[in-house]
Amino acid sequence: MTTTETAVSKKEQLKGKTLSELKEWFLANSEPSFRGEQVFNWMYNHLAEDYSEMLNISKDLRKKLDEKTILNTLRITDKKVSSSEGTVKLLLKTAQDNLIECVIIPEEKRCTLCISSQVGCPLDCKFCATGIMGYKRNLTPGEIFDQYAIAQRNYDRAISNIVYMGMGEPLLNFKNTVKSLEIFAEELTTGISLKKVTVSTAGIAPKIKELADTGLKPKLALSLHSCFEEIRSKIMPINDKYSLSETIKSVFYYAEKTGTRITFEYVMLKDINDRIEDADALVKLCRRIPSKVNIIPFNSLQHINPKGISAELIPTSKKEIEKFANYLRDKNITVMVRDTQGSDIAAACGQLAITQTA
């Protein structure tokens, strides 16, 4: 670590604190608790970049805050815009010079931001570029929120939806993910409601239950990819730790407890999970639980020269994907086939791997 980094990390991060934590923080610093509400408003609604913007706070206090705390946890180091659909990939740097990415996906009726929860990912899913780059650390709640703040400040349309589908496994960074959700859920936060937030997980069974028990009720997406234990274990090593049957039980619990509909994400891999028996098993599962299926065309990992099984994975053709989707639709299952937005700038699902050294 350089001396500058040490100096930076000694300052406290105010961003990432919930409303009650901010109120307590100001009380502990001999200030009235309503200052916590004011700063909450500036950080999470006005997305202030600098304490000097916080005009209802005295100059002296702003100076003190500036000396003691950090307001911005991330900075933009690169921005790529997809030529076809306007997808924007932001490359962001933390105070310790870790690199992460977030992606803005504009559509006609909504504008979705895909955010990261960890630097890298420990899960090693065979079809995912982030897994291949390995795991560095959990993001703080402030760093999770700041992706939204930075993206919104640098984009002219309002971001309407947030998906925790960037780098990392949000439920392995449980505490910080929940804190970031608490901030979005807070009544005082006007920009985003949890009805528009989706947490995507590879299936950390006990944490799915714990998330249900928080009472926060974000939408839950399970990266399913196969209804068969053996196949799922082959492409997702986490399945050896939390079997599909255990994970599905947690997902049932989540749907029941929160009253929400589950999204099953399904990356189409030729001859691995796109056969008729795969479709039949998916139908059977979806009939047992309020859910929809989100079919994702497999995005090539060729840009990072994959090894082993990863190098052997082939995308199911567009025609076969449509056939698979229609087979499910004929059985009254709700199915979406996702666009591969941003594939020209490696911003599509599973392509978020940093090629520069962090």
Point out the residues that are catalytic: 101, 349
Among 143, 298, 335, 341, binds ligand SAH (CB under 6 A): 298
**Residues facing 187 on adjacent strands:** none
299 lies in the site for ligand SAH, by CB under 6 A? yes
Instruction: Assess 65 for contact with ligand SAH (CB under 6 A).
Output: no
* Of residues 95-134, those binding ligand SAH (CB under 6 A): 127-128
What amino acid is encoded at 83 in this protein? S
Which position among 101, 143, 146, 169 is part of the footprint of ligand SAH (CB under 6 A)? 169
Under a CB-based contact definition with an 8 Å cutoff, are residues 31 and 39 in contact?
no
Contact positions with ligand SAH (CB under 6 A) in 19-58: none
Q: Report the C-alpha gap between 129 and 142 in whole angstroms.
A: 25
Rounded to a whole number of angstroms, the minimum distance from the CB of residue 165 to ligand SAH is: 4
Q: Is 180 in the site for ligand SAH (CB under 6 A)?
A: no
Rounded distance between C-alpha atoms, residue 64 and residue 14, angstroms: 13
Long-range contacts of 337-341 (CB under 8 A, 24+ apart): 337/295, 337/297, 338/294, 338/295, 338/296, 338/297, 339/85, 340/297, 340/299, 341/82, 341/85, 341/87, 341/105
Return the residues of window 315-344 that contact ligand SAH according to CB under 6 A: none
Q: At what angle do helices 276-288 and 318-330 cross, to 10 degrees?
A: 40
- Report strand pairing: 197-201 vs 161-164: parallel
Under rule CB under 6 A, residue 147 binds ligand SAH: no
Number of residues that bind ligand SAH (CB under 6 A): 16
CB of 124 to ligand SAH, least distance (A): 11
Beta carbon nearer to ligand SAH, 159 or 165: 165
Contact flag: residue 192 with ligand SAH (CB under 6 A): no
Nearer to ligand SAH by C-beta: 74 or 353?
Answer: 353
Instruction: Give the start-end residues of each E strand in 95-160.
Output: 99-106, 111-114, 118-120, 135-138
Residue 349 near ligand SAH by CB under 6 A: yes
258 forms part of the interface with ligand SAH (CB under 6 A)? no
Least distance from ligand SAH to the Cβ atom of residue 166, Å? 7
State the residue for tokens 């993910």: 177
- 202: contact with ligand SAH by CB under 6 A: yes
| 201 lines the binding site for ligand SAH (CB under 6 A) | yes
- The answer to whether 312 and 45 have CB atoms below 8 angstroms apart is no
Compute the 3-state secondary structure of the chain and give helix, strand, coil in percent, each to the nearest 5: 40, 20, 40
Q: Where does this chain bind ligand SAH (CB under 6 A)?
A: 127-128, 165, 169, 200-202, 223, 265, 267, 296, 298-299, 301, 349-350
